[in-house]
């Protein structure tokens, strides 16, 4: 093999490496982290009316983590029940969307350490005659919920226990709340900090809380231990800092 051929081969290899590096790294020199989120869950992730961008507690949190790890975040909006399949199929690297750590989900993905604890809440129209104080008070009612959530699981368990309720599942809580406002459902069951936020945005109120002690985590593809360990380390640092308090206070205007 003569020197000209060797030179061509070397040049091709160098160009290939350069192209790979170009796509792997952003213009700022950061690797790209594809983050899946369902932006209909305020204050954790939602579309800002002012900027049209996805913002929220989860978004600021994952950006802070990514910055510590040298990543640039690429947000990928996905319906909530499609987040885990997207992780499994390699369409995203991380999912953060107020996702409760459950035994069933842990069979499919790996979770970070918890960063939030929430309860479930029953949301109703403000000053309406219907004022449920427990899940059992939902008997005979139409109740809205988002597909794939722990709230949906809770309502299904309630129905299986013999409580006569009609469960109406939606691809997003935005649609569920719209139907609540328009009288198509009698109540919506949703995580407590989100219920509080939605109540402040619409003519709604939290009728009661249902203690569940749910904990949110950041999900990665099963077996991706290297990324998970990095996320956990950065997450722990943020949770122990003033930065976390600033993120929460920026978006959450009512008790979590």
More confident of the two residues 14 and 186: 186
Domains 28-115+217-251 and 118-214 share a fold: yes
Report in angstroms the alpha-carbon separations of 147 from 27, 181, 252. 38, 19, 24
Asked whether the beta carbons of 56 and 97 are under 8 A apart, the reply is: no
Pick the CATH number of 28-115+217-251 from 3.30.830.10, 3.40.190.10, 3.40.50.12780, 3.20.20.70: 3.40.190.10
Instruction: Report how far Cα 112 is from the mean position of its chain's Cα atoms.
Output: 13
Looking at residue 27, what is its pLDDT? Answer: 41
| Whether the predicted pLDDT of 88 surpasses 70 | yes
What is the percentage of the chain residues whose pLDDT exceeds 90?
86
C-alpha dist (Å) from residue 225 to 9, 96, 137, 222:
36, 17, 44, 8
SS3 for 235? Answer: helix
Asked whether the beta carbons of 98 and 217 are under 8 A apart, the reply is: no
Q: Looking at residues 65-88, what average pLDDT do you find?
A: 97
What's the pLDDT score for residue 253?
A: 77
Q: Using CA of residue 162, residue 165, residue 166, residue 170, what is the dihedral sign?
A: negative
- pLDDT higher than 90, residue 58: yes
> Once rounded to an integer, what is the mean pLDDT over residues 71-82?
97
Give me the residue label for tokens 């960063």. Answer: 115
Least confident of 52-56, 119-123, 177-181, 250-254: 250-254
Contact 124, 137 (CB under 8 A): no
Q: Is the pLDDT of residue 99 over 50?
A: yes
Contacts of 49 (CB under 8 A, 6+ apart): none
What local confidence, expressed as pLDDT, does residue 255 receive?
A: 57
Checking if the pLDDT of 110 tops 60, the result is yes
Nearest to 129 by CA among 192, 176, 194, 187: 187
**DSSP-derived 3-state class of residue 253:** coil
**Residue in this structure with the two tokens 């983590």, named with its chain if needed:** 65
Provide the pLDDT for residue 254.
73
**pLDDT 10s digits, 8-42:** 444 444 444 444 444 444 444 569 999 999 999 99
Q: Does 225 score more than 80 pLDDT?
A: yes
pLDDT at position 186 is: 98
Say if residue 112's pLDDT is above 70.
Answer: yes
Average pLDDT score over residue span 244-248: 97
Using the CB atoms, write b or e for 115-141: b if 16+ within 10 Å.
Answer: bbebebbbbbbeeeeeebeebebbeeb
CATH number for 118-214: choose from 3.40.190.10, 3.40.50.300, 3.40.50.1010, 3.40.50.620.
Answer: 3.40.190.10
DSSP 153-170: HHHHHHHHTT---EEEEE
DSSP 100: B
What pLDDT is recorded for position 131? 95
Q: Calculate the average pLDDT of the chain.
A: 90
Summarised one tens digit per residue, pLDDT across range 197-219 is 999 999 999 999 999 999 999 99
Domain positions in the chain are 28-115+217-251, 118-214
Query: Each residue of 128-161: pLDDT tens digit?
Result: 999 999 999 999 999 999 999 999 999 999 999 9
């Amino acid at each position: 093999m003569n020197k000209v051929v060797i030179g061509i081969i070397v040049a091709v290899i160098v160009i290939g490496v350069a192209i790979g590096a170009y796509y792997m790294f952003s213009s700022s020199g950061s690797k790209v982290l594809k983050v899946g989120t369902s932006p209909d869950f305020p204050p954790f992730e939602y579309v800002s009316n002012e900027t049209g961008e996805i913002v929220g507690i989860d978004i600021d949190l994952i950006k802070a983590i990514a910055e510590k790890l040298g990543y640039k975040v690429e947000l990928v909006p996905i319906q909530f029940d499609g987040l885990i399949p997207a992780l499994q199929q390699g369409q995203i690297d991380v999912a953060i969307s107020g996702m409760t750590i459950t035994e069933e989900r842990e069979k499919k993905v790996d979770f970070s350490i918890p960063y939030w604890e929430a309860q479930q809440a029953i949301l109703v129209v403000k000053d309406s005659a219907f004022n449920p104080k427990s899940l059992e008070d939902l008997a005979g009612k139409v109740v809205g919920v988002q597909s794939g959530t722990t709230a949906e699981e809770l309502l299904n368990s309630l129905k299986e226990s013999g409580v006569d309720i009609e469960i109406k599942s939606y691809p997003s809580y935005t649609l569920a709340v719209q139907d609540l406002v328009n009288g198509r459902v009698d109540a919506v069951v949703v995580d407590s900090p989100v219920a509080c936020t939605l109540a402040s945005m619409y003519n709604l109120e939290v009728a009661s809380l249902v203690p569940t002690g749910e904990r949110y985590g950041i999900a990665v593809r099963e077996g991706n231990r290297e990324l998970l360990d990095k996320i956990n380390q950065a997450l722990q640092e943020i949770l122990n800092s003033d930065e976390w308090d600033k993120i929460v206070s920026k978006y959450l205007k009512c008790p979590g």
